[in-house]
């Protein structure tokens, strides 16, 4: 890891790694500054360097004026920013983020990802686990895992281009019954209702998927559409359980 074997280099590697947990894991009965000071002491930052770095992070993550606020009284977005500040306080080379935005609103999620891109520009390598496909699409490289097994990897664009299924959308009425008819066909990887449309994945081994679908249609229309990363995930992990 980071060009070194784990055994015998644990302390050195600890200084080069950062980790942010899915669940807020800082001390809720400590203030913002007390949590930051505690983390700084764990990583052995000297008092002057720690003070300067904490001041920088308070400004960067919009926590100025909240230094004396108890962490437990903060909102989800504020806790998220504090957790990221603590995880990057020692300026790690490699940062692990475990589903970091699962408890925050869309605006805070977007702002959080802007901070991650800032870190990338500064040279930090970031490994994120997420179940949000719109977040996954922001990443430079992806690996799709199922039960600990890697099913696919590449850039988001490559994965969407190379997925083993075509994506069709069906509009009209009686979509629930149509879905049941379609998922009984072996050529159909998955079918799921999205609003007033039915999104269907058909194996790429079928050269004209619209014709396959057409024989099941009554008052509906069908068109081939651009795949999404959610489609890629479904296609790579079997998909037939999706409904």
What is the SS3 string spanning 98-158?
A: ECCCCCCCHHHHHHHHHHHHHHHHCCCEEEEECCCHHHHCCCCCEEEEECCEEEEEECHHH
pLDDT of residue 2: 60
CATH topology of domain 13-130: Rossmann fold (3.40.50)
pLDDT for residue 209: 92
CA 194 to chain centre: 21
Where does the chain hold its CATH 3.30.70.250 domain(s)? 159-236
Q: Which of 89, 100, 93 is nearest to 58 (CA)?
A: 89
- 159-236 has CATH 3.40.50.740 classification: no
The DSSP call for residue 71 is G
* pLDDT for 20: 95
State residue 241's pLDDT score.
Answer: 42
Global confidence as pTM: 0.82
Spans in the chain with pLDDT lower than 70? 1-6, 8-10, 239-243
Q: Where in the chain is the domain with CATH 3.40.50.300?
A: 13-130
């Amino acid at each position: 890891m980071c060009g070194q074997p784990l055994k015998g280099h644990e302390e050195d590697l600890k200084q080069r790694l950062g980790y942010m947990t899915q669940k807020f894991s800082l001390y809720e009965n400590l203030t913002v500054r007390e949590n930051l000071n505690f983390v700084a002491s764990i990583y052995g930052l000297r008092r002057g360097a720690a003070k300067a770095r904490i001041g920088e992070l308070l400004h960067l993550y919009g926590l100025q004026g909240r230094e004396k606020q108890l962490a437990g009284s903060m909102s989800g977005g504020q806790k998220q920013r504090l957790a990221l500040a603590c995880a990057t306080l020692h300026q790690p080379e490699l940062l692990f983020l475990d589903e970091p935005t699962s408890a925050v609103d869309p605006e805070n999620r977007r702002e959080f990802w802007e901070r991650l891109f800032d870190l990338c520009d500064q040279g930090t390598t970031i490994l994120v686990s997420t179940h949000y496909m719109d977040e996954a699409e922001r990443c430079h490289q992806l690996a799709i895992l199922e039960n600990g097994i890697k099913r696919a990897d590449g850039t988001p664009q490559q994965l969407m281009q190379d997925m083993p299924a075509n994506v069709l959308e069906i509009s009209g009425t009686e979509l629930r019954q149509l879905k049941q008819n379609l998922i009984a066909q072996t050529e159909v990887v998955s079918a799921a209702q999205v609003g007033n449309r039915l999104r269907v994945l058909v194996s790429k081994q079928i050269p004209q998927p619209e014709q396959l679908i057409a024989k099941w249609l009554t008052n509906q229309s069908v068109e081939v559409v651009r795949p999404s990363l959610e489609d890629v995930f479904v296609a790579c992990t079997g998909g037939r359980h999706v409904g």
